Structure 1
């Protein structure tokens, strides 16, 4: 049994905590929303901020701003030698700041941003992209495997965050590209469902077309991730491209479309709302 503190009991953090408890660990959960305390204690975790005897801190926060704000106070509570696992989808630049902060406190820090949404979290089937010391990953992999099906080591600090954001960048590129294809199909009198079948039998086949387009055609906007967080991630990659002088015209275009969708719909949940915005343009 490991003494684990988890900060952030949201759509991913709550099922992660549940899996950790089910694996026999002592789990103490904290969230800024006091109303989730009853859910947490209901599956056997305790409620409260991390205690000094914490062996592993797990953070699952909404994004980079919350992570940057919360970490100083959390790290101050921990003993040197504690392991810190961050599951947040944060910016690569922030990764360097966090690594330096952890080092000052003698904390072993590993970034492990998650791939997969709430359904994967509930099933214990998340994908993790681990950046940091490989020796730290070796020590905590049994804990990670309680809620993750795949754990990929990506390299030094910052690489895990970058990998996760690049995966999401391709996803949101597909949102825009496939949405545009479907609009063109409808305008030309094609049946989008039939077009999907044809695309799946050609070089443009993808998991997105196979799994997501049917949901899109029924009006499902995949309300599992906020438009504001999508824009936050895309803008962090725009910044990364600028810092490294990498041409990123497509990234900028996709970011602009999602930024316009955010301005139109507000910070609501919906991974496919950029398509809805294009349709209304």
Structure 2
């Protein structure tokens, strides 16, 4: 039975561009929830794929789950969507790119919602993503059942389509900064004779506590580089934020150092998966490893 959303008619067919590590589990959840899903992906995937023109012409909601802002900018503006369609972008993209594309779509009667995803493939498969959502209320209402099928929380940031993407980028900015700040602090403590694991426990609940310490210090101490996201994509997100800060003439001094360190890690290790490779670079420079004896 079709799911009726908002006041503009039922969402009977969902088009999805991108069935990779994040897109594929989302497709499976929407299919299991009873949506009619058509997928397009240029690479071989584990679900039936359809020509791009067929997917875009048939979709009531077109979902993009692409690697980054560059792919969105290259693919989406030229899509021929029917008036009344909603473009739902789940990419952690550039809110300025999203805004420009949304403007063009609006002139053709196509709505835009951007819902940047917090979480990785396991959360996508379990339907426990945290979504940071921006878009006009009527458009968000229309795609709400799709969002509900894959998330545990929907954080509404405003009417601008890129508002949710901005919030997610800022959240990632703080995470990247905490990852290197915690690493430097633990290296300093270790140089004074403190066990990093004991120091981490002592910091819990202190003025220096953070979500990074609570959730990811274990991975840092175990030498787990968190290989669910590419180092090149980390740098890409930080560079988007740097350009946003430059355009708005707001300070970015502290976080420019975070960006520079991640660029150095990218030069050292290449575009490989690893969100904690900048932290690993700091350990190499210190001649220390949290997984081994003191140097």
Please state which band the TM-score falls in when normalised by the shorter chain: over 0.9
Report the Cα distance in structure 2 between the residues aligned to 1:270 and 1:238, rounded to whole angstroms: 21
What secondary structure sits across from 1:18 in the alignment? helix
Pairing 1:138–2:148 present: no
Report runs of 4+ in structure 1 exceeding 4 Å deviation.
Answer: none
Provide closer, same or farther for how the CA distance between residues 51 and 92 of structure 1 changes in structure 2, counting only shifts above 3 A.
closer
Tell me the SS of whatever aligns to 1:72.
coil
Matches within 5 A, 1:1-281: 1=2, 2-33=12-43, 35-36=44-45, 39-41=46-48, 46-49=49-52, 50-73=55-78, 75-76=79-80, 78-155=81-158, 156-281=160-285
Equivalent residue number for residue 290 of structure 2: none
- After TM superposition, give the deviation of residue 51 of structure 1 in Å: 4.4
SS of 2:20's equivalent in the other structure is: coil
Residues 245-274 of structure 1 show CA distances to partners (whole Å, capped at 9, x for unaligned) of 101101111000001100110000001000
Aligned length: 272
Query: Which consecutive unaligned segments of at least 5 residues does structure 1 have?
Result: none
- 1:97 CA displacement: 1.1
Deviations 1:98-131, CA, capped at 9 Å, x for gaps: 1122123321111111111122111100111111
Q: CA RMSD in A?
A: 1.3
Listed as ranges, the gaps of 5+ residues in structure 2 are 3-11, 286-295
User: 1-side partners of 2:98 and 2:184: how far apart?
Assistant: 34
CA contact (8 A) 2:68 2:233 kept: yes
- TM-score, with normalisation over the residues of structure 1? 0.93
Distance 1:128 1:111 in 2: 9
Whether the aligned pair in 1 keeps the contact of 2:61 and 2:85 (CA below 8 Å) is yes
Partner of 1:130, secondary structure, is strand
The C-alpha deviation readout for 1:67-123, integer Å capped at 9, x for no partner, is 0001034x21x2111111000111121122111221233211111111111221111
| Contact 2:132–2:157, Cα closer than 8 Å, also in 1 | yes
Pair 32,194 (structure 1): closer, same or farther in 2 beyond 3 Å? same
Q: 2 CA distance for matches of 1:201 and 1:111?
A: 35
- Contact (CA 8 Å) 2:77, 2:101: kept in 1 or not? no
TM-score by length of 2: 0.89
1:7, 1:61 within 8 Å by CA — same for their partners in 2? yes
Distance (Å, rounded) in 2 between the aligned partners of 1:166 and 1:254 = 13
